[in-house]
A and B are shown apart, each in its own frame.
Chain A
């Protein structure tokens, strides 16, 4: 037993090293640039692929060839990181946080297709490291010596980084910038260099983490997202911006993984995320993190007034609805499927917008509630033998209950921390669906979730979905303009003032969270009957990001934005998928371009344009400019 514990501990420590390198880079980048770099997993993946190619080229048997290849891979990715920073990120530091996130997700998509183009879809098995091919016998069990090497790499890198940050001028600047945002401004010209170098350095660390995994596991195209979600966990548990925290958290997560497999093989993933949730509830800013100074809305444009739909907007809305109602009589049959899907996703986007826009709570894991709605419907059909209508009514409850539980934790945090916690909960939901095979069918999902006979014809189901979605979207809209919606926005704009006029901000946000979850659950349930089956992918990260894309594309500030965004996104995706195998690349590039060109989203930009025209017409009232505070 003791030797088993020992072996698993070593296992955990070995996997902690790469995780640490990636998370540490992510953390440093966030600390200085305040960008949550979703593409960090992509750098990790690129590091692994490049190392694979370089090592094969240089000769894997030769020590210089292997280690040279590994290091060169890290250096190349660091240079790529610098390029990305200069070409893309530099232009969007002033944009709202979520748009930056979106741009980095655009990069994720681009890198996925670049890797697919260069290395193809098959997994790549790397060579073993020269000099570390044997086993070491420790306490009676055989242990690969490369694992031991990795265990040592972690603390060594921690020591090196500590030296770098404490003893060099560059490190001092990085620390200063992490602690005090104002400081960065005072750096003047140096700032650009600092940001670029930090980004390159972080990317290089991630790539090194990936390259070092080469002898350990096959390189594949899914490494990026699985790594980024774990790295988020590590960074959040450790505390954003803290290198030591990242190491502690990486070790913690690595060990939980190793032991989880022994003790609860079915719920290892759940275990990891549960630990994260517990840490965040006890120490909301992570093990070693500090409460961020300054407001969460430090940059980004001032939120505009939220005006109820003008006459024109109402007319456009009615016209759009009329088009949707009449479309089946005009368009080809297969379009019905697309339109059904569009309606469902418009509701999904609207539900996410409800918590993100008026609520100010950005969710990285909204797919969880969509997926739980879908599973709710499927489980009701499969295990409770319910017909469609009761199942449709039952499903949102499952999503709502998850909203009650997850939301209770999430509203205790704000900003990036809240977003990452939502991601963690979504991963719990996903892992449950994936691992609890007896109930959910695991990867194979649940099949045979068909609508009732009367709703089976495509046309009927389209109208059913459209009706439900329109009603739900309108309900969300009414709530936004009702006192509750105002109270929700009040809590977002100024929690201080809200509490000082009797508004219980957390409770309001919690209720909003639950409402959003239920609405997403409705969309998910409709989707389950539409597809006739449910799979864990319904609540995987990409689906959550799809939601984010729809909302941000349309613009967070407007209530109609997410609907426009959903249509734009789905339309774009469908066309691209038809046009090219590399649709992800085009999609990613479009996202990046959109963020650079329209940092307020499509509808937001249009509104800003209209606003400028409106302000330009009558002379603005003259107001006394405030005297600077003494």
Chain B
């Protein structure tokens, strides 16, 4: 089976800093791939190149058999890539349901419609998505007043609204309580398997990573230093060096 996402020799520098340096990997449908590494390793930069937010310096990104390097975020989204952000990005003046409806409206190509209430569109579908992430009971609340963990779940619902083949989640559980984290990733894993979505996520909490990933990539100072199953990565000397602090240059934990 061909992978949903294939990344080849991706690279990006900021000034002299090689934020992402010759990174290659692939993700298959229904699988969860964790991208880990200390702060500043280049994870977010990598994500931003995948969905077109940042132009890459080198390398190419192939999604669903198609080269997507150089496309704009909205074009990448149209092809079927959903994304959540490290710092949640939702529409604060809209209710939880409206946030999801907005994504559905865009997906249905109704953005330019000048009449008819937006509120009345795709209600059932939006509610189904909210039910799936456990936010249905808060559907009427404004996103601007939600607790952070709830916002992350809204983002998840928004990100899967266009039935993506690939989901990019940058630190989906940052800012949540430990129990909430496991629950959210369990939910993500369930959705991914059920819908056959490939998921690439970054995460700091190793419990979450080991419990819910099919494979792990380890990034350090822009370079991919290890990849494999949880056990292999856990015992990799290079990874241990980065994570146990013998690599004095990295600041993560």
Contact = CB atoms under 8 A, between A and B. Distances in A.
A302 B145 CA distance: 8
Interface string A599-625: 000000000000000000000010111
Contact of A497 (B91, B111, B119, B146): B91
Interface string A474-497: 000011011111110110111011
Contacts of A484: 111-114
Contact of B73 (A489, A499, A511): A499
A486 B94 contact: yes
Interface stretch (B17-25, B62-70, B175-183): B175-183
A484 B87 CA distance: 26
A24 B77 CA distance: 45
Nearest to A624: B147
Given A303-B144, A501-B102, A503-B74, A482 B89 contact: no
B150 interface: yes
Interface residues of B, number: 54
A306 B110 CA distance: 20
A416 B51 CA distance: 30
Given A483-B113, A624-B180, A630-B204, A308 B119 contact: yes
Contacts of B74: 499-504
Contact of A487 (B105, B116, B119): B105
Contacts of A503: 74, 102, 106, 111
A623 B111 contact: no
A322 interface: no
Contacts of A629: 174-175
Interface in B86-133: 89-95, 98, 101-103, 105-107, 110-119, 121
A499 B53 CA distance: 9
A487 B111 contact: yes
Nearest to A505: B74
Nearest to A628: B175
A106 to B, nearest CB: 27
B77 A489 contact: no
B77 A490 contact: no
> Which of B85, B98, B115, B142 has most chain A Cβ within 10 Å?
B115
Contact of B98 (A302, A486, A496, A501): A486
Contacts of A489: 91, 93-94
A531 B114 CA distance: 33
A492 B94 CA distance: 11
A508 interface: yes
Contacts of A621: 137-138, 141
Contact of B92 (A302, A482, A627, A630): A302
A483 B73 contact: no
A501 B113 contact: no
A137 interface: no
B189 interface: no
Nearest to A493: B91
Interface string B142-179: 10111111100000001001100000000000111100
A500 B107 CA distance: 11
B78 interface: yes
A623 B150 contact: yes
Contact of A500 (B83, B110, B176): B83
B161 A501 contact: yes
Nearest to B155: A497
Given A482-B114, A483-B111, A621-B138, A501 B94 contact: no
B115 A501 contact: no
A493 B111 contact: no
Interface of B: 51, 53, 72-74, 77-78, 83, 85, 89-95, 98, 101-103, 105-107, 110-119, 121, 137-138, 141-142, 144-150, 158, 161-162, 174-177, 180, 204
13 contacts: A305-B94, A305-B142, A483-B110, A483-B118, A493-B91, A493-B94, A497-B158, A500-B85, A501-B162, A504-B74, A511-B112, A623-B146, A627-B176
Interface of A: 302-306, 308, 478-479, 481-487, 489-490, 492-494, 496-497, 499-504, 508, 511, 621, 623-630
